[in-house]
Amino acid sequence: MGIPTDDVFPRALLESLDRDPEGIAFEHGSRTTTRGELLDLVGRYTGGLRAAGLGPGRGVAIGTAVTPEGFAVFLAAYAMGCRVVGVRPGLTAAQLPHVVGDVDALVVDDAVGTPGLLAAAGSATVLRLGPELEGTPERPVARGNPDDVAVVTFTSGSTGAPKGVAITYAAMSAKWWHRPLTDPRAQELAAGYGRFLLFGTLTSVVMQEHLHVCLMSGGTAVIPQGLPEFPRVIPELRVTACLLTVARLHHVLDVLRDRPVDLGTLRVLIVSGSPVTPHRMAEAFERIGPAVRQGYGQTEIGLISMLVADDVAGWPGALGSVGRPWAGIELEVRDADDNPVPTGVVGEIWVRTAYALKGYWRDEEQTADLVRDGWVRTRDLGTLDERGFLHLTGRARDVIIVNAIIHYAGPIEQALAAHPDVDQAYVVGAPDERTGEAAHAFVVRAGDRDPDPDDLRALVTTALGPAAVPATITVVPGVPMAPSGKPDKRALLATLPTGVFLSTSARRANGR
């Protein structure tokens, strides 16, 4: 059966699956799912979603494990033109209603369908992944309205109330991986996705983006059985393409120092989530080879730039950068008055692309601050050098990226300050060999006794989840001030003993 031609996402992927029905789309242990079987699943789930009253513009939240069936539900909802909301694991009871409280239906499987999630969905129709979701089979056709919101991806929730990044069907249709690949860098990248390691969560915008790259290029998504053990999983599953956080890259390099691991199948290893130090990138190129790439991007925009081995071979100064802007990306570095700055001058990075977000879901104030005249501010600081490489120098926003997850300092500070024995609380991020960055908290006591650190950690856990708990909590007599009159967080960080960053992250990694 042919898929009707239409430019709306996910038309191109549906056509790709239909052209090669015998090709393997997913591999999970001894089980394989062909591209034709995946398309058939999408058709059956489309019928089930339609029977539940869903269609263009209707909201459906999806919380499933990483399975072919889970992805088929996403694809069916997109084909129908729904507003799709992925339910990220680890959301707190306070955050769940903010994420799923505005949808018409919730699709879950046994791995994700917890009582707390079901309660947060309120009056939404709950659909279980399985036979009950399979309706009368339909031919999946892309029916999305270009101006409608296709997906709302919620941030980590470190703000207390996660922000919903809303991307339209028009923007999804303009994604570089959904269009014919004309950029040589994109063509070379996609050619390496013969066997893409799919793990973590399907709600990850980065993981879904690269899953689409894999399937659009005719590759197979390989799902590990259980948590993947790096780097051993790469030769075991003959992986050719993989995503890693900075923390996982550090682990892989640590292992490779002690014993050789055959990574000969690897063609693409993208490291993202936080900047990689130049000496670590140099080591990665040396130990792993040209498969390594550093990607810089944001949920609001997608992939912004990429650094590859050939860049560094052509000019060693590129090693401290995050590469050149990616296909379809316009980039400017601006001063505080929104004027472009000269080459080499630090400013805020702004991006314009057809596939950026429309705005934050039902938050006009934050959208107006983020999107201006078609340009999106990244709130990151950096420079462009004379060869067009982008160098990150800091953040215009006060965030800490731990294991590739953004955590805002303000809400953590507020949670800590809620303790009766705390007068003031300050949180600052610092580089960490294991987690990319780590959060360090400093509190000024309110009375004669120090607050109990376990009580402080419990407050943060309750408010924002365990991932937001600082690596260290230090009681200080007061807070130094910067010349501007603001608290000098960097001076606070300098009061920690030498070596505390590695030792605290190591203790956390060992469960202590």
Mean pLDDT value across residues 288-305: 96
Q: What is the pLDDT, as a whole number, of residue 502?
A: 43
- Three-class secondary structure of residue 466 per DSSP: helix
Mean pLDDT value across residues 351-357: 97
Give the C-alpha distances (Å, rounded to integers) separating 319 from 282, 293, 306, 432, 480: 7, 11, 11, 19, 35
Helix (H) or strand (E) holding 167: strand 164-168
Q: What are phi and psi of 196, to 5 degrees?
A: -95, 130
Mean pLDDT value across residues 376-393: 93
For residue 377, name the pLDDT band (cuts at 50, 70, 90).
very high
CATH 3.30.300.30 fits 400-509, yes or no: yes
Q: Pick the residue with more confidence: 400 or 21?
A: 21
Q: What is the pLDDT, as a whole number, of residue 500?
A: 55
Q: What is the pLDDT, as a whole number, of residue 490?
A: 82
For residue 317, name the pLDDT band (cuts at 50, 70, 90).
very high
Mean pLDDT value across residues 492-509: 58
Q: Enumerate the β-bridge partners of residue 352.
A: 330
CA atoms within 13 A on the CB side of 336: 1
For residue 508, name the pLDDT band (cuts at 50, 70, 90).
very low
Core vs surface per residue 154-179: b (16+ CB within 10 A) or e = bbbbbbbebbbbbbbbbbbbbbbbbb
For residue 448, name the pLDDT band (cuts at 50, 70, 90).
confident
Cα of first residue to Cα of last residue in the chain, in angstroms, is 57
Q: What is the pLDDT, as a whole number, of residue 5?
A: 41
Q: What is the pLDDT, as a whole number, of residue 1?
A: 39
Is the CB of residue 215 less than 8 Å from the CB of residue 25? yes
Select from 3.40.50.12780, 3.40.50.720, 3.50.30.60, 3.60.150.10 the CATH code of 11-18+30-173: 3.40.50.12780
d(CA 178, CA 158): 31
Asked if the model's pLDDT at residue 79 lies above 50, the reply is yes
Q: Pick the residue with more confidence: 411 or 508?
A: 411
What are 63's two structure tokens?
């919380």
Q: What is the pLDDT, as a whole number, of residue 47?
A: 95
Asked if the model's pLDDT at residue 2 lies above 90, the reply is no
d(CA 405, CA 174): 26
Q: What is the pLDDT, as a whole number, of residue 279?
A: 81
| Distance from chain centroid for Cα 173 | 19
Q: Identity (one letter) of the amino acid at 455?
A: D
Mean pLDDT value across residues 302-310: 97
Q: Which of 4-18, 47-61, 202-216 has the lowest mean pLDDT?
A: 4-18
Q: What is the pLDDT, as a whole number, of residue 115?
A: 85
Is the CB of residue 175 less than 8 Å from the CB of residue 186? no
Mean pLDDT value across residues 454-479: 92
Going 295 to 472 to 503 to 478, the CA torsion angle's sign is positive
For residue 124, name the pLDDT band (cuts at 50, 70, 90).
very high
Mean pLDDT value across residues 21-42: 98
Asked if the model's pLDDT at residue 206 lies above 70, the reply is yes
Mean pLDDT value across residues 409-433: 86
Q: Pick the residue with more confidence: 77 or 445?
A: 77
DSSP state of 143: -
- CATH 3.40.50.12780 residue ranges for the chain: 11-18+30-173, 228-395
For residue 186, name the pLDDT band (cuts at 50, 70, 90).
very high
d(CA 284, CA 215): 27
As a whole-number percent, the residues of the chain with pLDDT over 90 amount to 71
Q: What is the pLDDT, as a whole number, of residue 362?
A: 93
Nearest CA to 14 out of 53, 95, 93, 72 is that of: 72
Where does residue 447 rank: exposed (0-12), middle (13-18), buried (19+ CB within 10 A)?
A: exposed
- What mean pLDDT, rounded, does the chain reach? 90
Q: Which of 12-21, 302-311, 457-466 has the lowest mean pLDDT?
A: 457-466
For 225-261, what is each residue's pLDDT tens digit?
Answer: 999 999 999 999 999 999 998 878 988 998 999 999 9
For residue 155, name the pLDDT band (cuts at 50, 70, 90).
confident
- Three-class secondary structure of residue 160 per DSSP: coil
Q: What is the pLDDT, as a whole number, of residue 22?
A: 98
Mean pLDDT value across residues 300-327: 96
- CATH 3.30.300.30 residue ranges for the chain: 400-509
Q: Please state whether beta strands 390-395 and 375-384 pair in parallel, antiparallel, or not at all (unpaired).
A: antiparallel
Select from 3.40.50.2300, 3.40.50.12780, 3.40.50.1370, 3.30.420.40 the CATH code of 228-395: 3.40.50.12780
DSSP class per residue in 77-122:
HHHTT-EEEE--TT--TTTHHHHHTT-SEEEE-TTT--HHHHHHTT
Asked if the model's pLDDT at residue 512 lies above 50, the reply is no
Q: Model-level pTM?
A: 0.81
